[in-house]
Structure 1
Amino acid sequence: MSDPRVAAGRRRPSVTGRAALCAVTVLLTACTAAPAPHSAPTAAPSKPAPIRTAQGRGWQLAHVGDQRGVRLRAVAASGPRDVWALGSPNEGTGRVLLLHFDGRRWREHPAPELTWNSNDAKGFPELVVTGPRDAWIFATTPVLTAHHWDGERWSRSGLRDLDHNPGERAGAVALAPDDVWLVVGDHAAHWDGKTWTAMRLPAWATSVSAVAPDQVWAVGGTGRPLAQGSTGSQAATMRWDGRSWRLVPAPEDRTPSTEINSAGRPDGNIPRITLTQVVAHAPDNVWAIGTRQVFDYEDGSRQTTITMRWDGKAWSRMPGAAGVSAAGSDGADGIILTVWDTAGLSGAIRVSPDGSRTELPPMTEANRDRELDVSALAAVPGARTVYAVGVAYGEKFGPMIARYRPG
């Protein structure tokens, strides 16, 4: 999720019409369109219960780097002593920054030769790891490349069999060193430890997550991402069962827009639904987060956040949060949502499978009022610990890493 802010330690007004998930978003509670014949049930959720407040230690500021003006945009972990974070200049073009946590402290880690333009935040390189000697970074600009760390050096390989648009969002997940999935556009590729095998997907994908080798989920949209103001694409969810990728029906929203066009009549445009992240906990517990975008004649577009959950039989809409900047696993069975422009990481909530929402305790004491923006979240496997990465503003304006552990 990208950033609509900043310069020299101060925020600037958000820019209208940014790419998906850049705009400030609000909770989507229901859609009124009837489901298409082959879509999943779309029964509107009941009115969300009040948000509770969790008890415990809350968020802790784990690291603020001295690389001024750099924002961390991706984070991945294989265990408590192996956490990685990838970033780039908050504005302009520059080399990527890679940090690694070995259980004691964060250090800068050798990174592949990659430069990045902050104006293309939606296609930021994807980072996955299975251990200190096995990490992957996938970049889609200007060409699709896979960079692999073997514990000593980075090696690079092209993925020519995967058709994609430069800068398109890629998603990846690693179950083991010889079981890695990459999705981009309407293609997927699987690494078996020796070679990449490319295959077509039944829809366009932006994110992938897995429970097991035969329980891999990808999410995105039913159509190729088009220019701002286009309509028609709906949420798409796909599952790999060990043999093939199959489209799984997801709730649709074909509510015609009531925006008045230049002829003085409602234009009737259909919302564009795109899922941008998937979190798979179990075969009967998978989460998807994305956006609902409608054309606006004054501002170009309006976006709201949507959250869905798979219970093993069907997808259903879930309560979410307003102003979502990042989403990820809570390390248990739910998800955590963070918001833009948070003081001490206040406003972050956990959504449980039953739909209940709990606000996580923010930072305390000296960091209570620290202005932060979160770009990505990742849970540490088996540790009930979640890392949030982004940028810290103020006098020490640079890459930020925060840690949450339940009380």
Structure 2
Amino acid sequence: MRRHAGAVVALTGLLALAGCGAGGGTPDPKAKTPDKAPLTWTFDHIAEGSGRITDLAALAPDDIWAVAAGNAASAPARLLHYDGGRWRSDPLPEALARTQYPPRLEQLGEDTVWLRTEAVETNPTGNAWLTWDGTRWSPVANPPTGLVGDIEATGPEDIWAVGADRRSVRHWDGTRWSSHRVPHTVEDLAVAGPDDVWTAGYRTTGPGTEAVHGEPYDQPATAHWDGAAFTSVETPQYRFPDPVPPEPGAGLQMLFVRGDGEVRAFGTHSYNHGEVENEPGDESVRLRWDGTRWRDLPPEQGGCADRPPVLDEGKGLVLDGNWYVTDAGTCVKIKRERLPGSTGARAGSKQSLWLESVLRVPGTDTVIGAGHVQVNQSGAPFSAPVVVRLEGKA
């Protein structure tokens, strides 16, 4: 999900079920969510076939893109677009039609979206980078060369991308690409603003990494862009009490920037389970940058606990796993609609919602997500690709 980033007013009348949707009704444009209705994911689009939506980007309420992938090898990925009236399903552009994995959408600011080869493709020289010009997908004029991982940007002239080696970050300044070494292995990248760029991951050298059972004890690591280079930032260290379990290590897997610019980092402190008795518990790493140093971020209450955020909605955080925590600390489980019977889902089926991406639609308070509903039922399980919107109040 990022991500990215990587967003509760309903998208009433904006994302009607139509076109390639499989049943489920059309929302009433005049309908209003009751003031005390609980937070609920409601369906805006149910795409045809069994599969999932792998990525999502929104340039405007009438310009929303998604990538859908089928579960069968014979079902190629396709591109979904919402134009303000209906969802349309189209084949991928020819340059991406034969890629091994579903392509990724990269939103660069509020006006630019790229469609590009997934970073794990095995033929980096054949990677395709396309941009939407309002009418068609055309080649990006100056894409990064080779494979790159996570991409973050403040706009089309300030783009940052993790290098394939995960030890470098590339930057596009509107004129050229430059490459910059990072003093640790990079797992995530975040741009809080111009010249306010962070990396997070782990290191295998330095304080706290002394070998245990013959292997280095990985430690969390962060670095910050100072305008000329990425500089290491002191990050808390972790260690299990003796006897230390086998293959221990800690690291950061995710960075998150709140709407006010506060940077948070999330990771784990774990080991290779199943080799010793009386195993210690894994530990969540939760950090908050206070402007001068990293500080521990206490876990949330109840089911929100150690769940990382996926979107700052403005009055609280949408968390991984369909949870929500208000700025006052109230933890809420987000409810969800069930698929209509027209999709093949039976009344007694077990259904679960899995979201790959959650975002706010620019110029609105609307929050949408995309992923799939897993339907487990005797003889005919399937997954339905869906776009959902967040309605109600916490």
Paired residues of 2:359 and 2:368 also in contact (CA < 8 A):
yes
Do residues 383 (structure 1) and 367 (structure 2) align? no
Change (3 A) 1:386 1:179: same
* Unmatched 5+ stretches in structure 1: 3-53, 119-123, 165-169, 259-265, 340-347
Do residues 275 (structure 1) and 250 (structure 2) align? no
Paired residues of 1:375 and 1:388 also in contact (CA < 8 A):
yes
Post-superposition CA distance 1:54-110 (Å, at most 9, x none): 9545322122210x2322233233343333333434476874433233333333354
Q: Match for 2:225: what amino acid?
A: W
Do residues 137 (structure 1) and 122 (structure 2) align? no
Separation in structure 2 between the aligned mates of residue 150 and residue 309 of structure 1, nearest angstrom: 36
Aligned to 2:385: 399
Paired residues of 1:387 and 1:402 also in contact (CA < 8 A):
yes
Separation in structure 2 between the aligned mates of residue 75 and residue 278 of structure 1, nearest angstrom: 18
Separation in structure 2 between the aligned mates of residue 85 and residue 375 of structure 1, nearest angstrom: 11
Change (3 A) 1:331 1:116: farther
Paired residues of 2:167 and 2:183 also in contact (CA < 8 A):
yes
Q: CA deviation at 1:149?
A: 0.9
Q: Match for 1:239: what amino acid?
A: H
* Unmatched 5+ stretches in structure 2: 3-35, 206-213, 341-346
Separation in structure 2 between the aligned mates of residue 406 and residue 176 of structure 1, nearest angstrom: 32
Aligned to 2:238: 253
Paired residues of 1:275 and 1:290 also in contact (CA < 8 A):
yes
Change (3 A) 1:322 1:406: closer
**Residues 41-190 of structure 1: pairs in structure 2 closer than 5 A:** 56=38, 58-66=40-48, 68-90=49-71, 95-108=76-89, 110-111=92-93, 112-113=95-96, 115-116=99-100, 125=104, 127-131=106-110, 134-137=113-116, 139-140=118-119, 141-144=121-124, 145=127, 147-151=129-133, 152-155=136-139, 159-160=144-145, 170-184=149-163, 185-190=166-171
Paired residues of 1:57 and 1:361 also in contact (CA < 8 A):
yes
Aligned to 1:242: 227
Change (3 A) 1:200 1:211: same
Separation in structure 2 between the aligned mates of residue 381 and residue 312 of structure 1, nearest angstrom: 28
Q: Match for 1:297: what amino acid?
A: G
Aligned to 2:267: 290
Pick one of 304, 314, 331 that aligns with 2:293: 314
Separation in structure 2 between the aligned mates of residue 101 and residue 257 of structure 1, nearest angstrom: 56
Change (3 A) 1:332 1:82: farther
Paired residues of 2:51 and 2:372 also in contact (CA < 8 A):
yes
Paired residues of 1:350 and 1:360 also in contact (CA < 8 A):
yes
Paired residues of 2:373 and 2:383 also in contact (CA < 8 A):
yes
Q: CA deviation at 1:125?
A: 4.3
Separation in structure 1 between the aligned mates of residue 170 and residue 226 of structure 2, nearest angstrom: 15
Q: CA deviation at 1:267?
A: 4.3
3-state DSSP class of the match of 2:336?
A: coil
Q: Match for 1:270: what amino acid?
A: P
Separation in structure 2 between the aligned mates of residue 253 and residue 286 of structure 1, nearest angstrom: 20
Change (3 A) 1:161 1:108: closer
Q: How high is the sequence identity, in percent, across the aligned residues?
A: 23
What TM-score does the superposition give when structure 2 sets the normalisation length? Answer: 0.66
Separation in structure 2 between the aligned mates of residue 391 and residue 325 of structure 1, nearest angstrom: 20
Q: CA deviation at 1:198?
A: 1.8
Separation in structure 2 between the aligned mates of residue 326 and residue 81 of structure 1, nearest angstrom: 30
- Structure with bigger gyration radius: 2
Paired residues of 1:289 and 1:327 also in contact (CA < 8 A):
no
3-state DSSP class of the match of 1:281?
A: coil
Paired residues of 1:328 and 1:379 also in contact (CA < 8 A):
no
Paired residues of 2:200 and 2:221 also in contact (CA < 8 A):
yes
Structural RMSD (CA): 4.0
Separation in structure 1 between the aligned mates of residue 181 and residue 258 of structure 2, nearest angstrom: 21
Separation in structure 1 between the aligned mates of residue 71 and residue 250 of structure 2, nearest angstrom: 28
Separation in structure 2 between the aligned mates of residue 326 and residue 107 of structure 1, nearest angstrom: 33
Post-superposition CA distance 1:118-154 (Å, at most 9, x none): 9xxxxx8463243565324353222554613142224
